[in-house]
Structure 1
Amino acid sequence: MTGRLLAAALVLALPASAQDLEERFNDYPTATRADYVFGCMAANGQGRDVLEKCACSIDTIAEILPYGKYVEAETVLSLRQTGGERMSVFRGAATDSIVADLRRAQAEAEIRCF
C-alpha cells in the first residue's frame, strides 16, 4: 500500500508535460508493441541486434504518435490492401493525412534506431 501511495505522489509531482508524455508513451498495449516487433523482425532479420532496433522503433513511434492515431493509420493501411470498389474510399486523399503521420513517425524511428 505504501508503494502505491509513493508511486502516486511521484506521478503527481511530475510536471504536466512530462506526465502527459509518460501517459502517451505507455498507452500502446504490449500485444501491439509485440506485433510490431515481430513484423519488423520478419522484414529485417532475426537476431538480438534486430530485436533491439525494432523495439526502439516502436518505442519511438509511441513517443511521437498517440495510440489512437496509430490504430487509425494501421486500419487505413490494412483496408487499402483489400480489393473492391467499397475500399476505394480508403485510397483517397481524405485518408492520406492519417497515414502520413504514421509514415513520419516511422521515418523518425528509422533515423533513431537503425
Structure 2
Amino acid sequence: MAAFFSTSSVKAAADYPTSVVAEYVYACMKANGENRNMLDRCSCSIDVIASIVTYDHYVTAATFKEMGLVSGEKGVLFRESAPAKAALTELKRAQAEADVRCF
C-alpha cells in the first residue's frame, strides 16, 4: 500500500481530522464493498484527495455539495454560483485522480 502514496500525501491526510477521514472511508466502503481490499483502496483515495485539496477547500466543496441538494431557489446559490462550481470542480478533479491511483 505504501507505493500508492508519498510522504507528502500522508502528511496532507494528517491535516484532515480523523473523523473526516473515517467518514470518507466508511462511505466509500459502503458504496464499493465492505472488504479489506476496499478499505485499502478507500484509504488510499482520501490520502490522494488530501494531497491535492486542502482541508479548508474540502470542507467548502463538501458544504456546497450538501447544500446544493436543497431543492428550489434555496439550493441554487450552492449549485450555480461561481465559487460553488470552482470548489466542486476542484474536488471532482481530486476524486478523479484518486480513482486513477487507487482503484
Q: Is TM more than 0.5 here? A: yes
Q: Greater Rg, structure 1 or structure 2?
A: 1
**Alignment correspondent of 2:26:** 38
- For residue 67 of structure 2, what is the aligned residue in structure 1? 79
What is the alpha-carbon root mean square deviation over aligned residues?
A: 1.7
Q: By how many angstroms is 1:113 displaced? A: 0.3
Q: Over residues 28-76 of structure 1, what are the superposed CA-to-partner deviations in whole Å (9 max), with x where a residue is unaligned? A: 0000000000100010011000000000000000011100000000000
Deviation at 1:104, TM superposition (A): 0.5
| Partner of residue 105, structure 1 | 94
Distance 2:52 2:102 in 1: 14
Percent identity of the aligned residues? 44
Q: Which of structures 1 and 2 has the larger relative contact order (alpha carbons within 8 angstroms, sep 6+)?
A: 2
CA distance in 2, matches of 1:80, 1:104: 18
Structure 1 residue 93, shift from structure 2 partner: 4.1
Q: Secondary structure in 2 aligned to 1:28? A: coil
How many angstroms apart in 2 are the aligned matches of 1:102 and 1:67?
11
Query: Helix, strand or coil: the match of 2:15?
Result: coil
